[in-house]
Amino acid sequence: MSSLVALNETSQIRAVCPHDCPDTCAMQITVADGRAVKIAGDREHPFTQGFLCHKVSRYLDRVYHPERLTVPLKRTGPKGSGEFTPVSWEAALDEIAVRFRAVADGPHGPQSILPYSYAGTMGKIQNESLDRRFFHRLGASLLDRTICATAGGEGFTYTIGSRRGTDPEAFNDSRYIINWGSNTAVTNMHLWVRMLKARKRGAKIVTIDPYKSLTAARSDWHLPIRVGTDAALALGLMHVIFRDELHDRDYLEHYCLGTDELRDRVLREYSPEQVSAITGLKVADIEQLAREYATTSPAAIRINYGMQRHYGGGMAVRTIACLPATVGAWRHRAGGILLSTSGYYPLNTQALQRPDLIPPGTRTINMVQLAEALAGELPGPPVLALYVYNSNPAAVAPDQNRVLQGLRRDDLFTVVHEQFPTDTVDYADIVLPATTQLEHFDLHTSYGHHYVLANQPAIPPLAEARPNTEVFRQLAARLGFEPELFQVSDEDLARVALCENDRHVPEALRGITLERLKAEGSAKLNLPRELTPYAHGNFATPSGKCEFYCERLKKMGFDPLPTYLPPKESRQSKPELATKYPLQLLSPPRPQFLNSSFVNIPALRSPGEVPVLLISAVDAESRSLKDGDGVRIFNDRGAFEAIVVVSDTVHEGLVVAEGIWWHKMTGGKGNANLTTSTALTDLGGGATFFDNLVEVAKV
């Protein structure tokens, strides 16, 4: 740890925000007398521009939180009680190794062990390196990490060919910006400031969102679409574009596949009147949006993850991703569509994760279906051991009652590696204390800009906390796994990811070495200065074109053309269910939290603050509810409680509960995932958190 300094000195350490957010901020940590005393956004970083969000500005409250887990713990009370006794690392690791070995050698074999992780840290090293090698080598079940982004990621890829879109830094120059199912001002604020810059130069900002999110409220125009109907809107816009000959004939002819079939479909099936009936938007608004979008150039769409958490989410993203090609928006640097920038990073993740170690035929468990996996309802051997890290499934996974029921199983051996006593920790047999980002090294890419960053440890690990990689090194040693695979330093793993050992270094990474990142903090990928990825076609699809018509989807049994797939649960698609549960529940992030992280930081909550439910005046009145009433929000899967706020941010039939609160922070009143389902999206096996009908009643 060369960056550590002697006591009595003040130093500046370059760090990176580890959280699951597209902005991946470059941070400056001030360390005095061995203690981190200040955290700030790096002023010199072109994307971070010197400011951090409200929550990460409080990151030191996380690091030095009085409830940080400090030592390994062993369960003493019943599962769920959170009663533990301290044990040594040696004892904890020995027990895990013995129990894993026993399960692996038992009648059901190593696939009865399930790793469960997501994005507590997005760092390449602490998120997806030795952990993957360890579970691959062990022969554990594979985890399909679908809880957030796979539906849209796949949908986008069928149309565009890869996860490469518009350069976020180009949004300054856009003239027409659509936030499509994206609460950009909250979830991607360093892109939002660029949108505001564009607005100063005359751009119009439009937001398509069922409720008036902060972004919608601050936009020039908010279109309150009916939940889960975005594909229909996109097809309606294309109807107007083709009908009124606003399309880019030349671009379509050269760079797109299936234009005639698409035009036929939208002209026949998606007139503004038909689309109005599906989406609840006014015919005139659909017409106006289409006209403005097609005739204001450059036009850029920011599409995000909230709108994909419905059954048809994959197809919806695929369909919206067709729009820029119809009007030739890809010709401009500041035009097109941005979902993620992850496709621009050619890191060597294979070498990092070593999928070649996976025993042939190993089954995969979809993380959205943790409830089913723990209940033994999925094909293959039962899950007898669970190792949770970088995630808080007891709070964030759908169908929570069944997840908790599974976690309570006496025959399940559960390890949780965490920074804090989360809801999941309460169910662990063994708890391991984890380092925070200030205490370990990491390498970062981003899904919202084009820089590679190195996070230098600013302080030594607090108490007995250890990084994820260190735990897997120690477990691997105990299980007798090859030292050459596991006794590798975090920095060497970063060199592997950066292709430093490879004969061929991909162009985008050329010159980006660990040494340089340690010196400079961050480096931009080598991409063309004027990034217009599809100005001349060159889509990474099998045809090389923007695929309106997609043979691969046809082979999978899907409609090869963009189409609208209704939600599984909505008043329109399930009228019978809606007689019992007439309200559509959205549970998007609360600005002050990051999924279920930061919930335990007092500075990010007002004193006594409790979860709220936004409800329309009409729905409140018909249930005799007024501001401040306690309500129960329920369906057949479960119930949680909140305080009602009657609000014009939601229309009739819609309710919104922001934030994934911990149970223990709400006095056991629960969170929205007590009502959400484990149903999967059409493409990518994603979660359908927002495809959820409920009823609300006073408590």
Ligand X SMILES: Nc1nc2c(c(=O)[nH]1)N[C@H]1C(S)=C(S)[C@@H](COP(=O)(O)OP(=O)(O)OC[C@H]3O[C@@H](n4cnc5c(=O)[nH]c(N)nc54)[C@H](O)[C@@H]3O)O[C@H]1N2
Which span (32-40, 115-123, 603-611, 617-625) binds ligand X, by CB under 6 A?
Answer: 115-123
Residues in contact with Mo ion, shown as a per-residue x/- string from 136 to 175 under the rule CB under 5 A: ------------x---------------------------
| CA 194 – CA 255 distance, rounded (Å) | 29
Q: Judged by CB under 6 A, does residue 392 bind ligand X? A: yes
CA distance 627 to 493: 54
CA–CA dist 544, 417 (Å, integer)? 44
- 594 contact, one of Mo ion, ligand X, none, CB 5-8 Å limit per kind: ligand X
Residue 408 identity? R
Q: Taking Cα atoms as reference points, which of 204, 186, 208, 182 lies closest to residue 195?
A: 204
Beta bridge partners of 257: 547
Which segment (156-164, 203-211, 250-258, 533-541) binds ligand X by CB under 6 A? 203-211
Residue 112 or 182: which CB sits closer to ligand X?
A: 182
Which of ligand X, Mo ion, none interacts with 104 (beta carbon under 5 to 8 A by kind)?
none
Give the nearer residue to ligand X in terms of CB position, either 21 or 443.
Answer: 21
> Binding string to ligand X for residues 212 to 251, with x set by CB under 6 A, is what?
-x-----------x-xx-x---------------------
Alpha-carbon distances, residue 240 vs 222, 248, 294, 297 (angstroms)? 20, 13, 9, 17
C-beta of 396: minimal distance to Mo ion in Å? 9
Binding range to ligand X, per CB under 6 A, among 90-98, 206-214, 367-375, 484-492: 206-214
The site string for ligand X over 158-187 (x = CB under 6 A, - otherwise) reads: ----------------------xxxx--xx
CB atoms within 10 A of CB 493: 23
Residue number, 135 or 305, with CB nearest to Mo ion: 305
Query: Does residue 417 bind ligand X (CB under 6 A)?
Result: yes
Nearest-angstrom CA–CA distance, 241 and 596: 42
Question: Counting contacts by CB under 5 A, is residue 687 touching Mo ion?
Answer: no
Residue 256 or 434: which CB sits closer to ligand X?
Answer: 434
CA dist 454 → 35, 84, 87, 449 (Å): 20, 36, 33, 15
What does the radius of gyration of the chain's CA atoms come to, in whole angstroms? 25
Q: Does 258 bind ligand X (CB under 6 A)?
A: no
Does position 20 interact with ligand X (CB under 6 A)? The reply is yes
- Contact letters for ligand X, residues 428-467 (x by CB under 6 A): ------x---------------------------------
Is there a contact between 219 and 205 (Cβ–Cβ < 8 Å)?
Answer: yes
CA–CA separation, 97 and 476 (whole Å): 9
- Give the CB-nearest residue to ligand X: 306
Residue among 145, 146, 154, 204 at smallest CA distance from 174: 204
Residue with smaller CB distance to Mo ion, 187 or 455: 187
416 in contact with Mo ion (CB under 5 A): no
Q: How far apart are CA 677 and CA 613, in angstroms?
A: 19
**Does residue 679 interact with ligand X by CB under 6 A?**
no
| Sign of the Cα pseudo-torsion (547, 549, 551, 555, in order) | positive
Least Å from the CB of residue 697 to ligand X: 20
Helix (H) or strand (E) holding 38: strand 35-41
Distance in Å, CB of 652 to ligand X, minimum? 16
119 binds ligand X (CB under 6 A): yes
**By the rule CB under 6 A, 391 interacts with ligand X:** yes
Amino acid letter at 252?
A: L
Choose the binding region for ligand X from 68-76, 112-120, 163-171, 355-363 (rule: CB under 6 A).
112-120
Residue 455 near residue 18 (C-beta atoms within 8 A):
yes
**Closest separation in Å from C-beta 305 to ligand X:** 4
Nearer to ligand X among residue 432 and residue 499 (C-beta): 432
Q: Which SS3 state, helix, strand or coil, does residue 1 take?
A: coil
Give the single-character DSSP code of 368.
G
> What mask of x and - would describe binding to Mo ion in positions 96 to 135, judged by CB under 5 A?
----------------------------------------
CB within 8 Å of 5: residues ≥ 6 apart? 11, 31
Burial class (CB in 10 A: 0-12, 13-18, 19+), 39: buried
Question: Closest CB to ligand X among 252 and 301?
Answer: 301
Instruction: Assess 367 for contact with Mo ion (CB under 5 A).
Output: no
Alpha-carbon span 106 to 385, nearest angstrom: 12
Q: Taking CB within 5 to 8 Å according to partner kind, which of Mo ion, ligand X, none is near residue 688?
A: none
The b-or-e profile of 69-81 (16+ CB within 10 A means b, else e) is: bebbbebeeebee
- Residue 673 Cα distances to 625, 640, 676, angstroms: 23, 8, 5
- The answer to whether residue 118 forms part of the interface with ligand X (CB under 6 A) is yes
Side chain identity at 105, as an amino acid letter? D
Per CB under 6 A, 468 contacts ligand X:
yes
Smallest CA-to-CA distance from 546 within 324, 316, 270, 338 is with 324
Q: Is 649 in the site for ligand X (CB under 6 A)?
A: no
Residues making contact with Mo ion (CB under 5 A): 148
Q: What does the binding site for ligand X look like in residue numbers (CB under 6 A)? A: 20-21, 118-121, 126, 147-148, 180-183, 186-187, 208-211, 213, 225, 227-228, 230, 304-307, 310, 389-392, 396, 417-420, 422, 434, 468, 586-589, 591, 593-597, 660, 672-673, 676, 689-690
